[in-house]
Amino acid sequence: MGSRITFFEVEILDWKTKQQLCFLEKVEPNATISDIRLMFHKLYPQWYPSRQSIRLDPKGKSLRDEEALQLLPVGTTATLYFKDLGPQIGWTMVFLIEYTGPLFIYFAFYFRMPIIYGLDDRFPSSRHPVVNLACICHSFHYIKRLIETIFVHRFSHGTMPLRNIVKNCFYYWGFAAWLAYYINHPLYTPPSYGQKQVNLALIMFLTCEAGNFSIHVALSNLRRDGKRSKTSKIPYPTKNPFTWLFYFVSCPNYTYELGTWIGFTIMTQCVPVGLFTFLCFIQMSVWAKDKHSTYIREFKDYPSLRMSIIPFLL
């Protein structure tokens, strides 16, 4: 005769009030947190799985979807805690909203709408060539991001809190308006070193855009088993020379992104663009360090030469 299965009983409490929300009987030992989310959702339809945080400790971290009940440090009667994460929005929609805004906001300034700059006889009617080039580059950058969002990116986490979209849009849309206002201003002053400076910046911009796209494709190929795969793998350089930066940094996508904005700063010689680039560097450094630490923690054989975002430095 086969061995008898020992079923679990799962008690789910509110993380703040400690009030019992439900008691699940005869839960199979190999049931995952994802399965428990679905059971909880049947009892409370308003709390769909992606807005649920299920944890072992009221103030602890959320348990991962793939964690099995029998492998958790609990007895056959398990007590778990629930926290409502609030309304959620899918990452694909998040990026589409964040990146569409700067694209159209920039055009409003590029076409010099009278409501923005007014009408002044001192304003020249023609634009400097670098202003046209900057518009093309800025548009190319965000169109590329939109294409990657739809066709390239694979997200390990399906959603984020809806309230965060306001903060993110304020950042992206606000900076797009600020830098576009100065670059497209009728009295804009072109770069100090003329066309040579613009050409050098354009080469840097395009090279880094190509590198950034190559890294995104390489990272996407690591998750071939599904768009929301949870499987984590060490990214390595491929035959594509742009991916060779993986020899030196854990997050070359951020390295190339930083290079893109440095190139755009040099091209436009505009202070708001430089400030945006600096803030991007700070934020991407935080993300890169966090990802680098995760790689080191998950993989004992992780390449020791790699830094987070800048080869040999950071």
pLDDT per residue, tens digit, the chain (314 aa), is 455 778 999 999 999 999 999 999 999 999 999 999 999 999 999 999 999 999 999 988 899 888 999 899 988 899 999 999 999 998 889 999 999 999 999 999 999 877 888 776 666 677 899 999 999 999 999 999 999 999 998 776 678 888 889 999 999 999 999 999 999 998 899 999 999 999 999 999 999 999 999 999 999 988 765 444 455 789 999 999 999 999 999 999 999 999 999 999 999 999 999 999 999 999 999 999 999 999 999 899 999 999 999 999 98
CB-CB contact of 191 with 268 (8 Å): yes
Sorted by where each starts, the structural domains of the chain and their CATH numbers stand as 8-86 (3.10.20.90), 89-298 (no CATH)
* pLDDT score at 233: 86
Smallest CA-to-CA distance from 268 within 170, 213, 189, 204 is with 189
- The whole-angstrom separation of Cα 118 and Cα 184 is 13
If you search the block for the tokens 């634009």, which residue do you land on?
Answer: 127
57-80 residues labelled b (16+ CB within 10 A) or e (exposed)? eeeeeebebeeebeeeeeeeebeb
Structure tokens at 311: 């080869």
27 three-class SS: strand
Structure tokens at 99: 């990146």
- Beta partners for residue 117, in sequence order: none
> What does pTM read for this prediction?
0.84
Supply φ then ψ for residue 79, to 5 degrees: -110, 120
